Amino acid sequence: MKFTLQVAALAALTLCAGLAQAETGKLLLTGGVSSIDGAAGGGLTPWAVIGSNATEGEIGATAHVTRTSTQDYGLTAYGAAVGIRDRVELSVARQDFNASPALALNGIAPFGVTPGQHIRMDVVGVKVRLAGDAVLDSDTLMPQVAVGVEFKHTRPGSIGSVLNFLGTKTSGTDLYVSATKLFLAQGVLVNGTLRYTKANQNGLLGFGSGAPGRNLYSLQPEFSVAYLLSKNVAIGAEYRFKPNNLEALGRAAGLGDALREDDWKDVFIAWAPSKHLSLTLAYVDLGRIVPGITGNRKQKGAYLSAQVAF
């Protein structure tokens, strides 16, 4: 109930912020796009920038919808964020993961997974800029630095019995620190994020693991680089390390690497036809996601996201 109230309160704040649109706004694409967890940054990882077009002294808002499709899975994500005085960002996101291949788990044990099962996860995020300004400090070596927290709650449906077997929790918290450096004259942006997490597949498969899997938080680095081809078009790439908490448990159960988790990566192009709209297209490689039920295939495919910003 508390989590639901947090989501409702932040959604109401987003609607109110929409009435106070920023009159000036940031340079195109320097505020990033919306990540799958709702925070401003790249598609897979947050940056230190504060989302929306709002600059210092203003309040702005964004909303986004994202679709990712791979050989065996699909993910739809949507959400909104409020940027307050270019200092604080509040975000909400909902993810809907098509986990249909999980039906094969019933062949291992009577888990009761139903056909066409989806996993849904809600994310509430808070990000605070601590130091630096990506644009104003672009001619120095000082990056923009921010810290953030993401509260996640997963609703696994009939796959809940599988998560119980694995000893994972359905709620967890990620902490992160990001440093974003914009070299404006060269048109280059570099970001590094260090995440403190025990999420499995970003939380869609719960948090932590039963013994002998890893049930402790670990530090996972994430990197992004982008190059501005023009004032409204950017290309780039991301790499996100993952904790791989469940593999040891799978091996102990005689499943080999059936529960292995791989790193995520992508290459993308982002286009902002106006200051209120941006579109991002990417080729993603999410590695193996529960390879025991997908023939050990790497999950590669397309990522498309649209964001409106004020």
The domain that contains 204 carries what CATH number? 2.40.160.40
Mean predicted lDDT score pLDDT of the chain? 91
Summarised one tens digit per residue, pLDDT across range 22-56 is 445 688 888 889 999 999 999 999 999 999 998 88
pTM of the predicted protein model? 0.90
Cα–Cα distances in Å, from 55 out to 15, 24, 96, 110, 144?
Answer: 19, 7, 32, 55, 14
Closest by CA position to 264, among listed 292, 222, 212: 222
Tell me how far apart the alpha carbons of residues 160 and 289 are, in angstroms, rounded to a whole number: 17
Domain with 234 in it: 2-309
The arithmetic mean of pLDDT across residues 15-21, rounded, is 40
Name the domain count of the chain.
Answer: 1
Which has more confidence, 254 or 204? Answer: 204
Write the DSSP symbol of residue 32: -
